[in-house]
Structure 1
């Protein structure tokens, strides 16, 4: 595979020059539907200049959560700053990609575009002087194929070969990501058999959302090249830990970390405390966006390291929100970690919702409760009540019910996506609840 440079295109001229210089055969235009599923179409270099000027039209009525038939014309405008070669494609006929902003035919932003939702949230933060940074930890499983969860190894947390049999796969994933300009901090085997984690270096939220979408595509493609299947399904194995996406986040203002105060309790500023309080206060409303599938709630149960209790702490990993203490007292390292999301969510909507909840905490001056450092998993119901600890929704149905009442998330997502998302999830729940499972047949048929 040829070593293409990491591009840093500033404008359309930079992209057109790179396409010609490296003899790019096709350019893929990427965007996501309301559920965060990657969508793509490709154009030839001869169409590129026109695409930058006028966009590329497509039928939005065929995209989940987009338009109705009679308002189906959408236009995709590529963002030149996202131009990179696809490192997993053959080098003799290189293919590039750009993320797109979806617009209406009159040139106005399309309200069903998830990327626009995040851009709008970031613009609101910018009005207050904030830049939002995130660092997600996306876990995944590697199986023999997509037909059944057949594990490749029996390794556990931080295991090395021969227990970890995917060292080479993770290495190739990292190389592929770095060739696309995506910085990786570290990788390792996770707790469950055949489960892995590759952590991306923190980045401004829009760029990170684009990077994380790319990450999911690269992981799947490199796994396929190794003859196996990668999945971000939250809970594919019964009795084992599921895959989470802990999201480290911070706000910077005037080049300084707004969450840091060397003289504050826990080295947290007032803004940092209020931001955490915002996440906790609106945690139930956030859950459907950050954990959007039926299967997500098979992971969010006590006993498998997934946080289900609304509390915060510094070292306690059973809490929903954590302030990591790897480098106590260091400004750049001060951040908040939300531990409930899973890696199968719509990343643009999830980041926008987290930011909206945190900013609400700052705007309204929410008061942060005391941290809970005891193991919440070991507490009984009465002990949790004494600490004022509530639980996250226990099913997609409960989560959607909480979301439907949320004015904060509705404002963040906009009416279109908010309603389309809820409608889709209600249909998913209805389809699920009428199924007859193997568990029910084995449990009830012999005696009922």
Structure 2
């Protein structure tokens, strides 16, 4: 995430041609209704997030949009949503948040999108398993502690854009097949459809960082994604090709408050996928879709503020950080095994978090050093720029739950003054074996992370931010639908290793 000198309280600015304008977000139902008229909207789309972290939606026509919609909500079947209700308690409500309204830039029909909160109609209260509600509770708990008024998050989501993807598994077969014109494996492909011969310029494995076109074939698509995101009110700072071959990318958003940034992550994924599809390609946030090359992470920059003062800055502290910042890091590192259940929440995540490679598996803090789990970026000595970058999460995470969990771990570190240990300002990958053995590591599997969450979740339940029901539902869902489902199926490589045994 690039450094910035702009005060964090300033509203986002979107560049348009030679000028700029401020994104004016609606504040009330009446503001939303004015937007409908101003943009000649024909459809209103109501979006919300299921427990694993995928957007769901349905659309309504204009006669259904009135002030009462924002107060009473609109019904839907919660039993059909992953991680939500059973069939005998399926009636649920969506209550649109007027401050999230944006004109949907990927649809040809004039459509206004609204992000919604989920409500239990019987209790007339926010639904405890609604991920967005958890994020909002975390921000409220932060204020109640008196430690800070605001938490800012700036995630760096990496993702791949492929030309095509095929996969399948049944009782007697299983495969996946990724195709990309940028893939290093295609140096010998006949590309006659493009005018004869092979166009070359394939990014070599682990050499995809920052090449210019024609090697970077996705420059125009990333620019289109960035500008489309800005149309939706998400400010973009930078975009570039990432390290891996076959079309790995990164587009960085300007930091925002916790729930707002989680909203922006959902918009980001939605627009990346739809713009890629517009070009006949497919975007994926799966952490490790390719063997033998870099995976996709979601490094999360975070800081605590008291109004306009960055509480992580201390001119006389190590790496210009305050005691409060280092205790926050101590909480992240102490609770990292449990955090991974939300921050790296797929079995595929642990194909990325493997010791001995470039993944941030070492639970240590450092300045500048990307081999540590918690890093202090040192691009600038500005007080506004002081933050911690937690590098373990990946983009398969449900951003609402992951951001809330990281904040709760950091606050627990501050409340208990947890010592993060001495800084490791060396390449941890090159430590002698006896020293490396002393550095704690993240869990090696999703099952291990879920076990850690079972054993260590009291910090999440403070202030009722994460309910016991949500934590147990998450663990049960992940075990039955993902861990066990993967464990039961033969892997193609097992045939190579064992068929002749």
TM range (shorter): over 0.9
Q: Pick one of 157, 161, 169 that aligns with 1:138.
A: 157
> How do 1:269-348 residues align onto structure 2 when only pairs under 5 Å count?
269-328=322-381, 330-348=382-400
Contact 1:286-1:409 at 8 Å conserved across structures: no
User: Per-residue displacement from partner, 1:314-351 (whole Å, max 9, x unpaired)?
Assistant: 021110000000003x1110000000100111000000
CA contact (8 A) 2:164 2:180 kept: no
Which SS does the other structure have where 1:136 is aligned?
A: strand
Map of 1:168 onto structure 2 = 220
- After TM superposition, list the pairs within 5 Å mapping 1:160-309 onto structure 2: 160-193=212-245, 194-309=247-362
Which secondary structure does the structure 2 equivalent of 1:391 belong to? coil
Query: Does residue 1:67 correspond to 2:121, yes or no?
Result: no
1:363: which partner in 2?
Answer: 415
Q: Figure out how many residues of one structure are paired with residues of the other and give that number.
A: 440
Q: Following TM superposition, by how much is the alpha carbon of 1:70 offset from its aligned partner in structure 2, in angstroms? A: 2.1
3-state SS of 1:390 partner: coil
User: How far apart are 1:358 and its partner, in Å?
Assistant: 0.2
Give, in angstroms, the shift of residue 373 of structure 1. 1.4
In 1, Cα distance between the equivalents of 2:320 and 2:450? Answer: 35
Query: Which of these residues, 454, 457, 462, is aligned with residue 404 of structure 1?
Result: 454
Structure 1 pair 146/413, CA: closer, same or farther in 2 (3 Å)? farther
Corresponding residue for residue 186 of structure 2: none
Q: Is the 8 A contact 1:5 1:179 kept in 2?
A: no
Deviation at 1:28, TM superposition (A): 0.9
Contact in 2 for aligned 1:403/1:409 (Cα 8 Å) = no
TM-aligned CA deviation for residue 97 of structure 1: 0.6
CA shift, 1:32, in A, is 0.7
* Between 48-57 and 352-361, the greater mean CA deviation after superposition: 48-57
- Separation in structure 2 between the aligned mates of residue 95 and residue 44 of structure 1, nearest angstrom: 10
Q: Residues 43-68 of structure 1: CA distance to partner in whole angstroms, max 9, x if unpaired? A: 11111114223101111111111112
Distance 2:164 2:461 in 1: 38
* Alignment partner, residue 45 of structure 2: 28
Unaligned 5+ runs, structure 1: none
Name the counterpart of 2:499: 445
Kindly indicate whether the alpha-carbon contact (under 8 Å) linking 1:275 and 1:358 is maintained by their aligned counterparts in 2: yes
1:95 alignment counterpart: 111
Hey, what's the Cα distance between the residues in 1 that align with 2:286 and 2:417?
37
Q: Distance in 1 between matches of 2:423 and 2:131?
A: 34
- TM-score if structure 2 supplies the norm length? 0.86
**CA deviation vs aligned residue, 1:372-402 (integer Å, no higher than 9, x gap):** 01211123442123xx311110011111111
RMSD after superposition: 1.5
- Segments of structure 2 that go 5 or more residues without pairing to the other structure are 1-15, 167-176, 183-201
Query: For the Cα contact (< 8 Å) 2:365–2:420, is it kept in 1?
Result: no
How far has the Cα of 1:304 moved from its partner? 3.8
Shift of 1:5: 9.4
Whether the 8 Å CA contact 2:363–2:442 is kept in 1: the answer is yes
Change over 3 Å in CA distance of 1:30–1:48 after alignment to 2:
same
Residue 262 of structure 2 aligns to a residue whose secondary structure is: helix
Contact 2:26–2:100 (8 Å) recurs in 1:
yes
Correspondence for 1:425 among 456, 470, 478: 478
Kindly indicate whether residue 72 of structure 2 is the aligned counterpart of residue 54 of structure 1. Answer: yes
**Cα drift, residue 305 of structure 1:** 1.9
- After TM superposition, the score normalised by the length of structure 1 is 0.96
Residue 434 in 1 paired to residue 467 in 2? no
8 A Cα contact 1:187 1:198, kept in partner: yes
- Checking the alignment, whether the CA contact within 8 Å between 1:31 and 1:40 is kept in structure 2 is yes
Q: What SS does the aligned partner of 1:275 have?
A: helix
SS at match of 1:149: strand
Give the structure 2 partner of residue 17 of structure 1.
34
